[in-house]
Amino acid sequence: MNPNDPINELVRAEDRDVMAKAAQWLREGKGVALATVTRTWGSSPRPPGSLMAMNREGRFIGSVSGGCVEEELIGRYRKGELADSLPVSVGFGVDSQEAGRLGLPCGGRLQITVEPLESAASIERLLERIDRGELVARRLSLDSGEVTLGEGEGYPELSLTEERLVKVFGAGWQLLLIGDGQLARYLARMARMLDYRVTICDPREDFADPDPLPDVIYTRQMPDDAVHDLAAKPRTAVVTLAHDPKQDDMALIEALETNAFYIGALGSRRSAAKRHERLLKMGCTSRQLERVRGPAGVPIGSKRPSEIALSIMAEITATRNGIVAVDNRVATEA
């Protein structure tokens, strides 16, 4: 695996590392189990989907709590109390005393599914698909322990029913911003903190950011070309910030033809209505335009650029987590 390969920049390294180490242990003949955070309540340190692999020798990789939960899971697994042959669900932090003992925040609770791993070949097939840049849905039957791999749809990253646990692996989350400026910088900073790979597209030849942000990709492509190149995967969000209909509309039209999980456009409700009319005349359908969050952001009374960025990032996060917005109005312009 070449670390300089552009595909690898998008891979969720922590997930891949956990699965790769589990496959290595299996090839070495060690007993291995995989723990997945499936639900949390209150202030839990790790979100659903967090992984940890452990072997019978007491070694582990990954994290499910950041507290003493890992130690307890490993101890019980080594004693044969967990995941001997079938997946089991384990709860932690059910009361304040236990939460304190396990290093969980006050009131924090989490549910973890622990499954025995038996086949390195199955994990290697998963890793091969990840390395090809694919999104892969790993489906675990909670009744039989059978694992199947299918095409991932990008979000939500984790889903749980009484019958199965589905975790999506693969290409990481991307944010494409159309138009550079103060708001783009705030959004980029916030997105980087949330592990997005951020690209800012601004084709203006006479504009150059005197202080470009580290770890952010800048491109002077035309907006539709940038969208075409970056938004093919479903883990991409596109937000238009240019205030120039020629740029914003080009990007939105192209984005509507992609699998982008979020498409947002800056502006007031009045400008959003005008944009809707323009895009209808350009051939977009009303059904397509339902995908555009405009005005972008959740309604928090935003006025300052930093607040507007927060509202947009909150809506992107909600969409990423599978929450459907009922009212996405937000004051971004007079």
Residue 325 lies in a domain: no
Count of structural domains within the chain: 2
- What was the pLDDT predicted at 41? 79
> What is d(CA 175, CA 171) in angstroms, rounded to the nearest whole number?
13
Beta strands in 182-296 (DSSP E): 197-201, 216-219, 236-240, 262-265, 292-293
Name the residue among 194, 131, 188, 142 with its Cα closest to residue 164. Answer: 142
Same domain, 223 and 280: yes
Other CB atoms within a 10 A radius of the CB of residue 43 amount to 13
Residue 144 lies in a domain: no
Name the residue among 243, 250, 289 with its Cα closest to residue 268. Answer: 243
Residue 1 lies in a domain: no
**Under a CB-based contact definition with an 8 Å cutoff, are residues 276 and 285 in contact?**
no
Which of the listed ranges 1-15, 24-38, 193-207 does the model predict with the highest average pLDDT?
24-38
Domain limits at 30? Answer: 6-135
* Mean pLDDT estimate for the chain: 85
237, pLDDT greater than 70: yes
Residue 75 lies in a domain: yes
pLDDT digits (tens, 9 = 90+) for 126-156: 999 988 878 899 999 999 999 999 988 766 7
Q: Write the CB contacts of 257 (distance below 8 Å, at least 6 apart in sequence).
A: none
pLDDT digits (tens, 9 = 90+) for 19-68: 999 999 999 999 999 999 999 877 667 788 999 999 999 999 998 886 67
